[in-house]
Each structure stands twice: as C-alpha cells, then as structure tokens.
Structure 1
Amino acid sequence: MNSQTHETRSALDTQPALTVHDLTRSYGDAANPVRALNGIDLTIPTGSFIAVMGPSGSGKSTFLNCAAGLERPDGGRVLIGMDDVTDWSESQRTKLRRDRIGIVFQDFHLMPYLTAEQNVGLPRRLAGGRVDKQLVRDLLGRVGLAERRGHLPGQLSGGQQQRVAIARALVSRPAVLLADEPTGALDSSSAREILELMRDSVNELGQTVVIVTHDPVAASYADSVVFLVDGRVAGRMDRPDADAVASQMAHLDDLVMAGAAS
C-alpha cells in the first residue's frame, strides 16, 4: 500500500461512522403531536460498540429507524460516514441499507419460505453478488445454528430466528450494524454468544455496532452507553459495567434534572 493510499484510509478511519444532528421526529396530527425525538445530537465513532438505553417511549427505536433511513426525520441531519443521507431517495436509502448498514429488527423479518441458510445469504443475492456459502455457514455456526441451516423459520424457535436475523445482518460485513433488542428473545447463554460475536466484529473487523437494549448486561459489552429520555440524550457512560448501568437506569430522572440545570 503506498503512502497516499494509507493516508486516505487513515483519514476515512477517523471519520465518525454515524452522526445525527438536532434530530427530531413526531407522530400523530399537528394539533396533538407526540414528539419521539426532540433534538438529538450524537456522534458514533468508527469501530465502536454503542448501547442506547432508556425507558419505553424514550425514542430509542425511532432513533435507529431514522439512522437506518427507514423513517425520515422531521428535522435535523443523518450522516453515514461523510455522506448526508437525510434527503436521499428511497432507492438510494435501500441501496445504503443493502451495502453499508446491517439491521436487526425486533420481529426478525425472515422470509418464511427460505431456509435459515438462504435467509442469511439473501442480502448478497438482492445485491446481485455472489453468496459466499462458507461465510454463511460460518456465521450460522457462530450463532449456534450450524445444524439448523436447512430449517425454515417456522421450524425454529423465536430465539433461533433472532440468531438467523443477526447472522443475516452480518453477512455483508456492513460498516454499521444497527440492532433493536438483539438479545431480547435469547436465553442468557445464547445472548452472551451473540454479544461476543458483535464485540468481535468491532475488535477484529473494525465494524461499528449500535444496539438498543433494556439489559444492563448486554450494555456492558459496549464501549459506551447513551441514555435517552423523552427523545433527548440525557447522559452517557463510558466503559460501562452491568451494575453501574443498572444503577443509572434506576436514576434517569437525575440525568434529566442535571441536563436541565446545565
């Protein structure tokens, strides 16, 4: 690699993977809007693992949907790397999700007529690329489903379907993985394996992982935890451990009051 290429790659590596600025999103009619996001500013460094936490209704899933281009914000900007994707067309945002963003949904979104192996390889087929069958099988092995790769979703438990969805999100080696409660349907052992897989994708592949979770143990795998309350960033904790996260979740009102006073 020549020095110019090295300098270019180094510059790219220092760019944030995901940035949102003054992000707002409301639902309902104009007379009685429900504000889900209320001016969020957040920068996610490249090659980091971030957990987003907060009470129900705090805007966590809406934040992920806006970041992934699944919903358009009412105001503010969304940048993936150096690209401002806020006003991109639907076809551009679809290509973005196909090529650069992996998404794990709470309700899995698996194709019922495809096997686990076919579901995992589907993003590559949709992109018109070659499916790396060995990579697909390796990922299924990593999530503990090597022996179930020929099963349809209806033949799998909820937890097994979740693991297929996670393997599918990783198969394109996305720059950013966005996951909504990725361990919510899993037992503690399976959850630990999935979180270790995500941790490895950050440490070994330089991917960026952002998860929404209610679980302090899941959050403890992250580099930082961002706390949302009422559609706003209420606080942040670096190098979290499960007990500290649980304590902070029990005292979110203190974060809100501190933010209002500052």
Structure 2
Amino acid sequence: MATALSVRDLTRSFGEGEHVVHALRGVSLDLPAGSFTAIMGPSGSGKSTLLACLAGLDAPTSGSVTVESDDVTGWSEARRTVLRRNRLGIVFQHFQLIPYLTAEQNVGLPVRLAGRRPDRHRVMSLLDAVGLDGRGGHLPGQLSGGQQQRVAIARALVNEPAVVLADEPTGALDSQSARSVLALLRGLVDQAGQTVLMVTHDPVAASYADRVVFLVDGAEAGRMTSPTVDAVATQLAHLDDLTRGVSA
C-alpha cells in the first residue's frame, strides 16, 4: 500500500540549556493512503506540535517529514506554503472561514491563492458531497457550526490533497453536528480513498478512525487498531501507565 505521509524520528525542542522543552521525542509514523488515523494524548503531549510539523507550519529540530515521495523537511517557508495549498488539506477546530466570502468562495479560495481560477463545477460538487447542496451562496454567519465545518472540509479537499490534517475538527460542535462531521470524514476514507489524520481529545471521535496513536510527553506511548469508544476511554484513563512506559 502506498504511503501518503511519513515521519521518522521527529523531534522538536524549544529553548536552550536548562530551559529546553522537548515537545516531540523521536516520533515515527506512517500514514497509508486511504487510512484514518487519530492522534490522542493529554495536554502538552505534543499533538499540536506534531500536527504543525506535518503541516509545514513549524520546522522540526531533527528527523524527517515525507509527503508521498518528497522529503519536505528542509523546504523553505515559501515551498511549505505551496505544499499546504496544493497537497495538504487542513481542517481547523474553529473553521477559519472568511466571513465575507460565501461558502462557494471559501471552498475555492485555495485555488485562487494559487493563482488559478476555481472550477465552479468541482466546488459545487464538493459542497454537494459534504451535504451542502444549495448552500453555496450562504455566508458563514448564515450557516450552523456543523455546516461551517463541512465548508471547511470541502475547502480542504478542493486541491485533491495527499492528506487531510484535522485539528480537533469536532471540538467546537454539538454532539449531533460532531457525529455528522465524523461520519463525513469516515466516508471520505471509505468511499473516496482519502487519507485523514485527526488530532482529538474525544474517544467518540477516535472510534471513527482505523487506529489511534497515543502520545505522552512528546513520545509515542501506544497504538490501538479498530478502536472503540470504551477501549479508547479505558486507555486514556491509564495514561499514568503510558507515561511510565515512555519514561522507562
């Protein structure tokens, strides 16, 4: 199976000397094409730092990040910006839609930023695919939170990314909207072969993934395949055991 994204021995440190903070400690991970991976761990475990390094928003201290066949670790900020625009789809917790642009315009924005004219048929097809047929002319303020997140997901898909990186995509949603968004992400994997990596605190959200990777103190502390809500919740309840395993 092809690998959409991989990291090897990834580290990220902040500060120097006795004030150094090791946010990531040698994380290695492969994302097979068409897979759904959840990253979990307590606050300060390195989840957000890992996502930032994968998205090219931050540069690792050491190690490598490979998108499809390209090692992007040493790329300049300008090249990483193009990478995010063309080959990575990013979904944020708080949607990050432009309030004065319609849903259709928000979805097509990455294409315009790349200097091209959006294919309106593709944009409208994506809105239809995420359940927003007929809402393309609505401003974000005219949409519910769940609908805004669906617009954000359509925007992330507009350039056919190698990977969709979702940062707590249900964190700002009510439970019904959250389930709808999670089912949408699951469907993208199962029906369209999209690769998704999601950072989450929620065992329900994690149960939609193919596997869960647990981080503790910046290092991998365990994995779980075919996760269930109860199994993930139980593992999270024993994070002290995971911490001891990392420290050993």
In the superposition, the TM-score normalised over structure 1's length comes to 0.87
Aligned residues: 248
Of 198, 203, 219, 1:211 maps to 198
Partner of 1:222: 209
Partner of 1:68: 55
Identity between Structure 1 and Structure 2 (%) = 67
Q: CA deviation at 1:158?
A: 4.1
Q: Name the amino acid aligned to 1:204.
A: Q
Q: Name the amino acid aligned to 2:93.
A: Q
Partner of 1:98: 85
Structure 2 unaligned blocks of 5 or more: none
Q: Name the amino acid aligned to 1:45.
A: P
Matches within 5 A, 1:10-25: 14-25=1-12
Partner of 1:123: 110
Q: CA deviation at 1:205?
A: 2.3
Q: Deviations over 1:134-169 (max 9, x none)?
A: 332333344444454323334445444333212211
The change in CA–CA distance for 1:157 and 1:32 in structure 2 (over 3 A counts) is farther
Structure 1 unaligned blocks of 5 or more: 1-13
Matches within 5 A, 1:189-208: 189-208=176-195
Q: For residues 121 and 190 of structure 1, what CA distance do their matches in structure 2 show? A: 23
The root-mean-square deviation of aligned C-alpha atoms, in Å, is: 2.0
Q: For residues 34 and 3 of structure 2, what CA distance do their matches in structure 1 show? A: 9
Of 33, 39, 48, 1:52 maps to 39
Structure 1 stretch displaced more, 160-169 or 58-67: 160-169
The change in CA–CA distance for 1:230 and 1:138 in structure 2 (over 3 A counts) is same
Partner of 1:79: 66
Partner of 2:172: 185
The change in CA–CA distance for 1:44 and 1:26 in structure 2 (over 3 A counts) is same
The change in CA–CA distance for 1:255 and 1:31 in structure 2 (over 3 A counts) is closer
Partner of 1:139: 126
Kept in 2: contact 1:24–1:73 (CA 8 A): yes
The change in CA–CA distance for 1:133 and 1:190 in structure 2 (over 3 A counts) is farther
Q: Deviations over 1:74-104 (max 9, x none)?
A: 1111111121100011221112111111011
Kept in 1: contact 2:111–2:118 (CA 8 A): yes
SS where residue 87 of structure 1 aligns?
A: coil
Q: Name the amino acid aligned to 2:205.
A: A
Q: Name the amino acid aligned to 1:137.
A: M
Q: For residues 130 and 52 of structure 2, what CA distance do their matches in structure 1 show? A: 25
Q: Name the amino acid aligned to 1:171.
A: V
Kept in 2: contact 1:178–1:211 (CA 8 A): yes
Q: Name the amino acid aligned to 1:166.
A: I
Q: For residues 76 and 169 of structure 1, what CA distance do their matches in structure 2 show? A: 26
Q: For residues 124 and 237 of structure 1, what CA distance do their matches in structure 2 show? A: 37
Matches within 5 A, 1:141-160: 141-160=128-147
Does residue 233 (structure 1) correspond to residue 220 (structure 2)? The answer is yes
Structure 1 stretch displaced more, 18-27 or 239-248: 18-27
Q: For residues 131 and 69 of structure 2, what CA distance do their matches in structure 1 show? A: 36
Q: For residues 59 and 260 of structure 1, what CA distance do their matches in structure 2 show? A: 15
Q: For residues 190 and 239 of structure 2, what CA distance do their matches in structure 1 show? A: 30
Q: For residues 66 and 86 of structure 2, what CA distance do their matches in structure 1 show? A: 15
Q: Name the amino acid aligned to 1:185.
A: A
Does residue 171 (structure 1) correspond to residue 165 (structure 2)? The answer is no
Structure 1 stretch displaced more, 233-242 or 43-52: 43-52
Structure 1 stretch displaced more, 227-236 or 124-133: 124-133
